[in-house]
Amino acid sequence: MPEKMTAKKEKSKLFHVEKRFDMPLWQSILIRFGFIIVALFIGLLILTISYGVNPFDAIGSMFVGSFGTEKRIWDFLRDGVLLLGVGLALIPSFKMKFWNLGGNGQIIIGALVSVILMINLGGKYPDAVVLLIMIPSAILAGAVWAAIPAIFKALFNTNESLFTLMMNYVSVGLVNAFIMAKYPIGSHVIPRIDDAHFPSLYNGSLLIIIIIAVLLGGMVYYLKFSKHGYELSVVGESMNTARYVGINVKKVIIRTIIVSGALCGFIGCLLASGVDFTVTPETGNNMGFTAIMAVWLAKFNPIIAAGTSFFIVFITRGMTKVQSDNNIMNDATPNLIIGLIYFFIIGCEFFVEYKLLINKGGKEMKITEFIKSLFTSKVEKVKLPPEAEAAVEEEEVK
Amino acid sequence: MKKQILALTAMLAIAGLASCTGNNSTTEKMKVGLLTLHGEDSTYDKNFIDAFKAACDAKGVDGKVQTGVNEDAGCTTAADNMVDDGAKLIFADSFGHESHLLASAKKAADVQFCHATGTQAHTANQKNFHDAFASIYEGRYLAGVAAGMKLQAMIAEKADTSKKIGYVGAFPYAEVISGFTSYYLGVKSIVSDVTMEVRYTNSWYDENAEKTAANALIDGGCSIISQHADSWGAPTACEAKGVPNISYNGSTESQCPNTFVISSKINWQPYFEMCIDAVKSGKEIATDWTGTVDTESVQVTALGKKAPAAGTQEKLDEVKAALKAGTTKVFDTANFTVKNAKADTSEFSKASYITMDADGHLTGYLADVDDDGKYVGETEAIKEANGKKYFAESEMRSAPYFDILIDGISVGA
Amino acid sequence: MEISDRVAILRKGQYIATVKTSETNENKLTEMMVGKKTTLNIDRTEPVNVQDRLLVEHLNLRNIDGTKVVNDVSFIARSGEILGIAGIAGSGQRELLEAIAGLKPGYKGDVIFNRPKKNLPVSFFHKTFREVVTMAKNGAFHYEDGTPVSFAGMSIKKIKELVNTEKVLFNEDEVYNLKNLNPRKIRELGVRLSFVPEDRLGMGLVGNMDLVDNMMLRSYRKGKGSKLNRKKPEALADEIVKELDVVTPSIHTPVRKLSGGNVQKVLVGREIASSPKVLMAAYPVRGLDINSSYLIYNLLNKEKEEGSAVIFVGEDLDVLLALCDRILVMCQGQVTGIVDARTTTKEEVGLLMTSTEKEEEVKENA
């Protein structure tokens, strides 16, 4: 005798969270995009309420901030491409689940080494020579900076998040020490260095853009088409499998982190000799962390990371323009809006990973269905296989 | 639902783009810009912003302020953006902005760039780049006089009041040293055996460090605190401990009613208005401009309601008149000695630039007026007027160059 | 069938029917479980050309706590034979296989891989020119008439001619001690040892990668330069999907999306693609539907017939008795007995699975 098919009326919760297994790409993009719009909307609302900013003007300002003049467009591209560069440096590390939080420090150490060379060799030797010495030195500095935590992780399984983070402080300390030693008089700044600038093609930004574009291609190749990239993916996805096929996990970890640090060091060199022409404790402007956001949103895909990097730069520059256009004297407000956007973007991941179901009258349904059901009163019949269908009818007849 | 989201987004985007093009209406007003290091939460920058707004309103120009401009290439970018937006006159307010602002000036020869507190204009050979400062040492001296009156009153009330006063400074260089020395000399003119301890925070704006330094000085026995620092850290520390405070950049009475004595400040409005007039009429702006008490550039605020000693206002008026008349010189060499500095053997010692008489008074000093990054003194700064020898501060360039640690002032850890 | 009164059948998460045990039989049940008529049987063939292939000698392995999880295990696996390993779960079977595969560095004992080469010609297919010359110097070869081979004074052309005409013969079998070598080094030695681990998606495959990239796990290092060659793995993936009837939307689907049986088909397919000389499988049919299980048994059989030494760790005694040629029984990390699968009984094996004293006599097939 088949057992009863109808479910007992249990005390069930109003909401039920269910993990999604598959979501078509267009849907996940739409959800993310939708949340960004909501975030922007709320941000603009805050601006309107606090400062009387006209929201349409504000949106306009945001676009002008990045695209208003030719110079702004170049600066936008350059900033976006630099953020992407840091992101490209972090992607291999994160794909391997090695949380390299030391991007800032690796950038700074590269910039510091570059500046030291710029000051001591610049003007005495031709620019090209100084650059030829500077670039490998900065790359090496960044690589070493990342290798130290990596080696400790591989040998002693120390926590890489903490170690790389702490290295950031060390590099800032070194910069401060250098400034105090070399430039003790004044407000603790190294004035703009005039020698050994990164070569400029058409303007200061074009060459940088080209270089990072090449790096992007290189990273795509490295991750998808090279043996190293494959090993990296295996180690990151399943360390057991990596060991099972005899991949030297320690070697792969150290090698990948060195690549990560080296690229950051290179970005530091670009900043020191192509953008800032100096080094400060804030060199890099926190890109080491912003890039984490950019690549995480891009699900560690280098090409999508280009999109997210430019998006982040767009929002940041946009907010600065809104601030200056509306004479908002407070630095905090634009940061608040940007933080709000980040918060929404991260929060929407929940809705991409999980389905939220509402319990109406004992039946669970998706939110959209729930809204629909408020207007209609049809209840769908659950379909059973033929044998069971027959059993249910049997029961109901009884 | 999804379609509606898309439609809304499209509408917003179109509206935004449409509005930004339609906004360049009829303003034929001249555009002027100000770049500040921090925002209004910094007393230093607020001082500039307020003066700037007042000047723009008074002169009927369109003024735009960009806050949060760091002392790095971001400053160049911000200035370039203002040039692109049509500004004809751009000011920057922080010492470290200079080299970056200069880079921008080199690219836009028809725009005037004015830098406050800077030192390079007179050697930079850039026609559209100018430095400005004010003889703030006179303001500090006056504030010191008020502090001295307070200290005298405190001693009269309690005989064992410590004759040590404290000062929270930002960075150890001429602008700060000149400031605290002139302040100290003001106090000394009332209480002749006062000593002062200085602590540096190595930052223009670090509320925590400034508070810590102020507390350390108070705990170390200082009776009165003053500062050259942009946050409210030191004044609020003083208020909490009931120690009188001499402020800078503006009155701190609102948060420190019990301990605020007086504040010295530079009023930038006269300079801003002068520059605006110059650009409007096509005249040149001075390469180095030093505002004085006469031009109303150097001011002291109104005395605090509770803290100052009786008779302070009268004394201030008296000293002010003497400064104006030239009968009192702040850096009168007869009023201080430099024996310690002459004996200094550390790396950045000024001993080789000092010429001292038998009593330890300065008879000659080579000041580092030409800021070429080599920290070498080259310009004779001791002059004579009305029979008195004095250190000619702010006469050969607008930014201060008095950088000697005189006897009576010590630097704390 | 033996103890129930009624049997309820579920298929793919749906309820099918409930029948009285007395009114049904295995075939009918299987048909309802699978959905269509199926015949399931294991054809066990007689071992042919049996040669010693893998000699495990006194293997001892301690785990992190220090307890001996593999205790003085010795046995010989032979080509053309399926050696089953029986024992209650946790008797050390899994650890034993992992140790042999090179995944447990630091074990004590020896694992000797034997390649019968005695009196067989050497070829440049397996050895490089340099290796041949070095081995000849060490007196590893002889001619058909028994004289030892020396290449002293010969031209390169002459040496190559001799080898290519199969005149240079091995003196002895080639023997490698795999002790403490990791899986990659084992492959680099030329030892074709394949291992189907118990943990399919966690160890044998990378769940988020597609079939092609999983095929590459063993072979990605081939080829000069840094670029991966995906052509061969793609072809292999296509072949496996076709031959083993793997149900998947495409070869570019991440393997974690496949059902259990198909995952195992992919894994086993890859491991046998390299024509291994030793094939080890730990619980290869655990959790699989009945169709897939029998497919796996047939694959193991095929490997045996092609000359592999197959080592099969299983839970189902009936299957072990039907599929294997010999059965090694383990209990608490020790070998309690090695029996002939054709003549032993379930009771005998069951007893060995629970006894902890080593039998005085170990029944072994000569």
Same domain, A165 and A240: yes
Query: Which pLDDT value is given to residue C280?
Result: 96
Question: Which stretch of A55-59, A364-368, B164-168, C289-293 has the lowest confidence by average pLDDT?
Answer: A364-368
Same domain, A248 and A390: no
Same domain, A362 and A307: no
Q: Final residue of a domain: which of A311, A329, A345?
A: A311
Domains and CATH numbers, chain B: 27-135+268-291 (3.40.50.2300), 136-267+297-408 (3.40.50.2300)
d(CA C267, CA C274): 12
Name the phi and psi angles at C165, rounded to 5: -95, 20
- Dihedral (CA of B237, B239, B241, B243) sign: positive
Name the closest residue on chain B to residue A26, using Cα atoms. B2
Strand-pairing partners, residue C177, are C112
- Interface residue of B1, B72, B231 to substitute, partner A, most A CBs within 10 Å: B72
Instruction: Check CB contact of A244 with chain C, cutoff 8 Å.
Output: yes
Our count of domains for chain A comes to: 2
- Segment A124-133 shows an average pLDDT of 91
Domains and CATH numbers, chain C: 1-37 (no CATH), 40-116+175-192+276-324 (3.40.50.300), 129-172 (no CATH), 201-274 (no CATH)
Residue A90, domain member (yes or no): yes
Name the closest residue on chain C to residue A21, using Cα atoms. C257
Instruction: Check CB contact of B77 with chain A, cutoff 8 Å.
Output: yes
pLDDT tens for each residue of A66-112: 898 888 899 999 999 999 999 999 999 999 988 999 999 999 999 99
Residue A43, domain member (yes or no): no
Q: Is the Cβ–Cβ distance between B71 and A189 less than 8 Å?
A: yes
Query: Which pLDDT value is given to residue B10?
Result: 59
Cβ distance of B70 and A282 shorter than 8 Å: yes
Query: Which pLDDT value is given to residue C272?
Result: 92
- Interface residue of A23, A50, A119, A192 to substitute, partner B, most B CBs within 10 Å: A192
Q: Which two tokens mark B391?
A: 């250190």
Calculate how close chain A gets to C99, using CA atoms only, in Å: 11
Q: What is the DSSP string of A243-280?
A: HHTT--HHHHHHHHHHHHHHHHHHHHHHIIIIISSS--
Instruction: Check CB contact of A52 with chain B, cutoff 8 Å.
Output: no
Residue A349, domain member (yes or no): no
- Segment A339-347 shows an average pLDDT of 83
**Is A27's pLDDT higher than 80?**
no
**Is C366's pLDDT higher than 50?**
no
Name the closest residue on chain B to residue A372, using Cα atoms. B1
**Is A346's pLDDT higher than 90?**
no
Q: Final residue of a domain: which of A311, A329, A347?
A: A311
Largest CA distance in chain C: 84
Q: Is the Cβ–Cβ distance between B292 and B298 less than 8 Å?
A: yes
Residue A57, domain member (yes or no): no
- Segment C272-300 shows an average pLDDT of 91
Where are the extended beta strands (E) located within A98-211?
none
Reduced 3-state DSSP string for A277-335: CCCCCCCCCCHHHHHHHHHHHCCCCHHHHHHHHHHHHHHHHHHHHHHHHCCCCCCHHHH
**Is C232's pLDDT higher than 70?**
yes
Instruction: Check CB contact of A189 with chain B, cutoff 8 Å.
Output: yes
- Segment C329-344 shows an average pLDDT of 92
**Is A388's pLDDT higher than 70?**
no
For B56-67, b/e burial (b = at least 16 CB within 10 A) is beebebebbbbb
Segment (H or E) for B157: helix B136-157
- Dihedral (CA of B23, B28, B33, B39) sign: negative
Cβ distance of A327 and B64 shorter than 8 Å: yes
Instruction: Check CB contact of A234 with chain C, cutoff 8 Å.
Output: yes
Name the phi and psi angles at B178, rounded to 5: -60, -40
**Is A375's pLDDT higher than 60?**
yes
Residues of A in contact with C186 (CB under 8 A): 246
**Is A378's pLDDT higher than 70?**
no
- Interface residue of C10, C12, C15, C33 to substitute, partner A, most A CBs within 10 Å: C15
Question: Phi-psi category of C190—alpha, beta or left, where left has phi over 0 and alpha has psi -120 to 50?
Answer: left
Query: Which pLDDT value is given to residue A58?
Result: 85
Name the closest residue on chain B to residue A320, using Cα atoms. B66
pLDDT tens for each residue of C168-199: 888 888 889 998 898 988 988 889 999 999 99
Calculate how close chain A gets to C136, using CA atoms only, in Å: 31
Looking up residue A287, the CATH number of its domain turns out to be: 1.10.3470
Location of structure tokens 């560095």: C105
Query: Which pLDDT value is given to residue A377?
Result: 57
Query: Which pLDDT value is given to residue A376?
Result: 67
Q: Which two tokens mark C269?
A: 């397919």
Cβ distance of B204 and A187 shorter than 8 Å: yes
Residues of A in contact with B106 (CB under 8 A): none
Measured between its terminal Cα atoms, the distance across chain B in Å is 65
The amino acid at A126:
P
Residues of C in contact with A2 (CB under 8 A): 15, 18
Residues of B in contact with A329 (CB under 8 A): 39-40, 49, 65, 67
Task: Flag whether the ipTM exceeds 0.90.
Answer: no
For C37-58, b/e burial (b = at least 16 CB within 10 A) is eeeeeeebeebeeeeebbbbee
Closest CA to A107 of A220, A211, A260: A260
d(CA C283, CA C303): 17
Same domain, A382 and A286: no
Q: How far is CA A306 from CA A89, A320, B16, in A?
A: 13, 21, 24
DSSP state of A207: H
DSSP state of A37: H
Give the one of A34, A191, A276 whose C-beta lies nearest to B5's C-beta: A34
Where are the extended beta strands (E) located within chain C?
6-11, 14-20, 52-62, 68-78, 81-86, 108-115, 141-142, 169-170, 174-177, 193-196, 278-282, 309-313, 326-331, 334-340
The amino acid at B359:
D
Same domain, A147 and A249: yes
Cβ distance of A240 and C202 shorter than 8 Å: yes
* Residues constituting chain A: 398
Q: What is the DSSP string of C215-253?
A: HTTTTTT-SSSSB---HHHHHHHHHHHHHHT---S-TTS
Question: Per the confidence metrics, is the pTM higher than 0.95?
Answer: no
d(CA C95, CA C104): 8
For A51-76, b/e burial (b = at least 16 CB within 10 A) is eebebbbbbbbbbbbbbbeeebebbb
- Segment C25-30 shows an average pLDDT of 81
- Interface residue of A38, A48, A69, A185 to substitute, partner B, most B CBs within 10 Å: A185
Residues of A in contact with B19 (CB under 8 A): 54, 56-57, 59-60
Cβ distance of A75 and B348 shorter than 8 Å: no
Query: Which pLDDT value is given to residue C54?
Result: 93
Cβ distance of B99 and A64 shorter than 8 Å: no
Name the closest residue on chain B to residue A37, using Cα atoms. B9
Q: Say if C and B touch: at least 3 Cβ pairs within 8 Å.
A: no
Residues of A in contact with B170 (CB under 8 A): 187
Cβ distance of A227 and C228 shorter than 8 Å: yes
For residue C81, what pLDDT band results from cuts at 50, 70 and 90?
very high
Query: Which pLDDT value is given to residue B23?
Result: 45
Cβ distance of A185 and B66 shorter than 8 Å: no
Q: Which chains have 3 or more CB–CB distances shorter than 8 Å to chain A?
A: B, C
Same domain, A175 and A253: yes
Secondary structure (3-state) at C277: coil
Same domain, A188 and A259: yes
Residue A104, domain member (yes or no): yes
Cβ distance of A192 and B202 shorter than 8 Å: no
d(CA A294, CA A271): 19
For residue A383, what pLDDT band results from cuts at 50, 70 and 90?
low
Q: Is the Cβ–Cβ distance between B309 and B149 less than 8 Å?
A: yes
Query: Which pLDDT value is given to residue B25?
Result: 47
Closest CA to B291 of B317, B263, B272, B304: B272
Interface size A-B, in CB pairs within 8 Å, comes to: 124
Same domain, A365 and A292: no
Name the closest residue on chain A to residue B205, using Cα atoms. A187
Give the one of B5, B20, B203 whose C-beta lies nearest to A60's C-beta: B20
**Residues of chain B predicted below pLDDT 70:** 1-27
Query: Which pLDDT value is given to residue B242?
Result: 93
Residues of A in contact with B95 (CB under 8 A): 186-187, 189
Q: Final residue of a domain: which of A280, A311, A342?
A: A311
Q: What residues have CB less than 8 Å from C174, skipping those under 6 apart?
A: C114, C115, C117
d(CA B48, CA B266): 9
Range(s) of the domain holding residue A179: 69-311
Q: Which two tokens mark B144?
A: 């010191």
Same domain, A361 and A273: no
Give the one of A69, A188, A331 whose C-beta lies nearest to B202's C-beta: A188
Give the one of C197, C221, C228 whose C-beta lies nearest to A225's C-beta: C228
Angle, helix A287-297 to helix A103-121, in steps of 10 degrees? 130
- Work out the angle at residue C42's Cα, subtended by the Cα atoms of residues C41 and C48, and round it to the nearest 5 degrees: 155
Residue A321, domain member (yes or no): no
Q: Between the CA atoms of B393, B395, B401 and B403, what dihedral angle is there, to the nearest 10 degrees? A: -20
- Dihedral (CA of A363, A365, A371, A372) sign: negative
Query: Which pLDDT value is given to residue B4?
Result: 62
Residue A178, domain member (yes or no): yes
Secondary structure (3-state) at A175: helix
Same domain, A272 and A372: no
Secondary structure (3-state) at A226: strand
Same domain, A203 and A262: yes
Q: Is the Cβ–Cβ distance between C171 and C141 less than 8 Å?
A: yes
Give the one of C207, C209, C218 whose C-beta lies nearest to A245's C-beta: C218
Q: Which chains have 3 or more CB–CB distances shorter than 8 Å to chain B?
A: A
Residue % of chain A over a pLDDT of 70: 87
Instruction: Check CB contact of A300 with chain B, cutoff 8 Å.
Output: no
Query: Which pLDDT value is given to residue B17?
Result: 52
d(CA A147, CA C265): 41
Residues of A in contact with C212 (CB under 8 A): none
Sheet of B379-380, strands arranged across:
B354-356, B362-367, B379-380
pLDDT tens for each residue of C152-161: 888 888 888 8
Same domain, A275 and A196: yes
Q: What is the DSSP string of B29-92?
A: SPEEEEE-SS-TTSHHHHHHHHHHHHHHHHHT-EEEEE----SSHHHHHHHHHHHHTTEEEEEE
Residues 21-50 of chain A whose Cβ lies under 8 A from any Cβ of chain B:
30, 33-34, 37
Give the one of A233, A241, A387 whose C-beta lies nearest to C203's C-beta: A241
Question: Which stretch of A371-375, C1-5, C259-263 has the lowest confidence by average pLDDT?
Answer: A371-375
